[in-house]
Structure 1
């Protein structure tokens, strides 16, 4: 094994275009002095489980999993995904379906999408849904189309492709969140082990921020990496995906970003969906 890789930090993030775009420069050693990375690709439901088991040094996870992992991991103030107009959708076969008592397929119960869905349902469905079933996200639209679920909660590129399945958007979870909070939608977070120490955590944040800015400055440089891992996604959809999920909050959470994260997790805790956060849980170092 190469000596540099032997000492590299183990990181896992998704093969989605936003992550490969953000991490391209860093993963390929184009940031002078940045920690070397040993990259594993895994969907976010897998990385959420890795975080709960304390695996890997750095992980891209759902903000929804933070209440279970912040004792061991610190939230980095950059590199993640927040935004506006990019929330999960609830899809149905027929427009305007009343979801009371119906079955809804979701990609995970430890996801921001699920928390947003439950908060939306608490506000709009006084009698609740009938049953929630967990399916891999790529199986959700076929399940709704084929009648195996009455509705499906979808994320990412499904926002652009659901009409190909003959489905209708019943509600936009992000739109509901933004209209009720005026805050951006917190989706994916970058976390790193606190045991790495404050100095290394700052280096990681600096490298993540630099990698984002390099991707913006030279978008063509990342295209081979994005294309390699985009799982046959249409290039125009990949570009839309990057445009939605890589923005100013990726470079710096800022006050609005932190308010969005705390707001989501505080509301979710009030509904009994996640454990409550301690006052300093989101502190970086």
Structure 2
């Protein structure tokens, strides 16, 4: 029987947990970098045979109690735990209607009212569905793509644009994995995944790690060709009226060089919008 998504996730996650992290002895030769299967079973309070069946895809319906125990054993955070439950068919998954691509007019108007704060709306496939003028200027008019995953992994300029490209790449894949877990059969999500696996070895390597993480408050460092270095804090909000869509708003520390650069970028965006 082919290994299930659940089995692949369990295998990948136990490979990321060291015995020392869960207070297990580390002496002797170990053939695996993380935990052995029997160690995960011991920590979760299940039989080793049952856990092996889970990883091999021969057991696909663990109880919520077992999943909770596995989440603790594998040191999963809330996003990882949610993903685990979804893969087991217990957590909620998105309806099969497809990736939502309509942005509410009221939200568009609100974004346009923020001339000094880049703001974008994207879906589970990381397609940018809406952006205000200063966000367009920040991302160079979306010349390469309006898909954030494509920008990170297939734009040759991305490694210069994102000053911490490796961190951005890792976090982007973890966020994309969370969205994929919510809607694994969505045609657009699957299309983007297939394209990235085919064209980006870096994405494929990170995807194989099975990291899962939703976006939260974080800082990103950019090197913009027109205004120079920018350090921006980003806030991410779920859009309740359109499940699967997220709003990201960037801002700079007041009175900082990044604030001055962002103000210049806003001026350039305003000038560009006025030009015929």
TM-score range (shorter-chain normalised) is: under 0.3
Task: Tell me which of the two structures has the higher relative contact order, counting C-alpha pairs closer than 8 angstroms and 6 or more residues apart.
Answer: 1
TM-score normalised by length of structure 2 = 0.25
